[in-house]
């Protein structure tokens, strides 16, 4: 409500500026007309010959016409500048408000993302402590789940720290030769336990990059694919001439063209996320974009046969 009121005030202020501008332009034209009429009256008193007066009158009319054209022309240029300035202000204002809304959502959802793993760990440990005769198999399961949740918590914190370092140009890229075929199979094991997926990974494909950041990128893309998928998740890795192409596919709601760039913006959450109640901070794809740009490779979101495809080209 408050934000809407501020926007209305901006529009009213702009309307007032335009009205005053046009009013002063009209006054200048009228003033110019009055000056020319006074000059004609003075000339009529001084010049008695009709032909000479008509020549002076014609000259004054031409001067009046030129000055009016000049006033209107300059006024139009200033009006265009005002319109462009107002458009830029509104665009920047709308963008800032959208970012503030996304940031507010992030700040509200982050405590939940941090609290959830801590609550799971606490519950598991309490279960073990309160039941001294807990079966060793169950105990091991609870400990494993606790460690997984602690890893998730650690990953969230690391992502926040790394993103901040990348944004401030303080992250030193540790590039090395990576066997993507081997590592990719290892990285996606965790996600294969959550949802059945189709793999098409060529053997012995290598890239140069920061191993930890590449892993972080893959994990965020896989997590995103699983959250938004209905039944199908696929992952492809292939060599195309001198390029390596990685594709992570899901059969979720098709991403609209207007959102294919926005989803990589900081804190952005699509309408589908809110509609389906999908949790998240709107941070994962942002750090993916940061990692891609740091490695000077490209990422595209394309649609193939009603599937969403996140395509990274190394």
pLDDT in tens, 1-58: 445 566 677 777 777 777 777 777 777 777 777 776 766 666 666 666 666 656 666 7
Q: What is the per-residue burial (b if ≥16 Cβ within 10 Å, else e) of 223-256?
A: bbbbbbbeeebbbbbebeeeebebbbbbbbbebe
Residue 236: phi and psi, rounded to 5, are -120, 140
What pLDDT is recorded for position 146?
A: 79
Torsion angle (degrees, nearest 10) of CA 19, 22, 28, 31: -70
Q: Among all chains, which residue has been given the structure tokens 């399961």? A: 141
pLDDT in tens, 210-219: 999 999 999 8
Radius of gyration of the chain (CA): 33
What pLDDT is recorded for position 282?
A: 64
pLDDT in tens, 232-269: 888 999 998 889 999 999 888 888 887 888 888 877 76
| Spacing of C-alpha 280 from chain mean position | 16
Of 71-85, 96-110, 127-141, the least confident: 96-110
Pairing mode, strands 233-240 and 206-210: unpaired
Eight-class DSSP state of 268: -
pLDDT in tens, 50-100: 666 566 667 767 777 777 777 677 777 777 777 777 777 777 777 777 666
Q: How confident is the model at residue 172 (pLDDT cuts 50, 70, 90)?
A: confident
What pLDDT is recorded for position 310?
A: 92
Three-state SS at 278: coil
| Spacing of C-alpha 220 from chain mean position | 17
Three-state SS at 198: strand
Kind plus residue range of the DSSP H or E element containing 100: helix 50-130
Most confident of 135-139, 188-192, 242-246, 249-253: 242-246
pLDDT in tens, 60-72: 677 777 777 776 7
pTM: 0.60
Tell which residue, 299, 219, 291, has the closest CA to residue 255: 299
Tell which residue, 185, 234, 187, 178, has the closest CA to residue 205: 178
């Amino acid at each position: 409500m408050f934000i809407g009121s501020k926007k209305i005030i901006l529009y009213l202020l702009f309307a007032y500026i335009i009205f005053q501008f046009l009013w002063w332009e009209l006054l200048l034209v009228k003033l110019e007309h009055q000056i020319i009429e006074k000059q004609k009256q003075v000339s009529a008193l001084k010049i008695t010959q009709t032909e000479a007066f008509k020549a002076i009158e014609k000259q004054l009319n031409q001067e009046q016409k030129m000055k009016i054209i000049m006033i209107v022309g300059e006024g139009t240029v200033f009006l265009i500048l005002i319109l462009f300035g107002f458009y830029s202000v509104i665009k920047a204002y709308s963008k800032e408000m959208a970012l503030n809304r996304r940031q507010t959502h992030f700040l509200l959802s982050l405590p939940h993302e941090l609290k959830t793993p801590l609550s799971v760990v606490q519950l598991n440990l309490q279960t073990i402590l309160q039941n001294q005769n807990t079966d060793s198999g169950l105990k091991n399961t609870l400990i494993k789940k606790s460690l997984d949740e602690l890893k998730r918590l650690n990953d969230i914190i690391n992502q926040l720290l790394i993103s901040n370092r990348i944004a401030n140009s303080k992250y030193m890229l540790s590039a090395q030769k990576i066997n993507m075929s081997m590592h990719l199979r290892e990285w996606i094991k965790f996600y294969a336990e959550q949802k059945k997926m189709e793999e098409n990974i060529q053997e012995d494909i290598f890239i140069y990059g920061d191993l930890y950041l590449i892993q972080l990128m893959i994990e965020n893309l896989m997590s995103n694919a699983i959250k938004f998928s209905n039944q199908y998740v696929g992952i492809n890795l292939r060599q195309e001439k001198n390029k390596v192409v990685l594709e992570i596919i899901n059969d979720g709601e098709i991403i609209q063209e207007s959102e294919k760039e926005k989803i990589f913006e900081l804190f952005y959450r699509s309408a589908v996320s809110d509609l389906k109640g999908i949790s998240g901070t709107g941070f994962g794809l942002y750090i993916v974009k940061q990692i891609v740009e740091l490695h000077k490779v490209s990422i595209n979101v394309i649609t193939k046969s009603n599937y969403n495809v996140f395509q990274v080209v190394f």
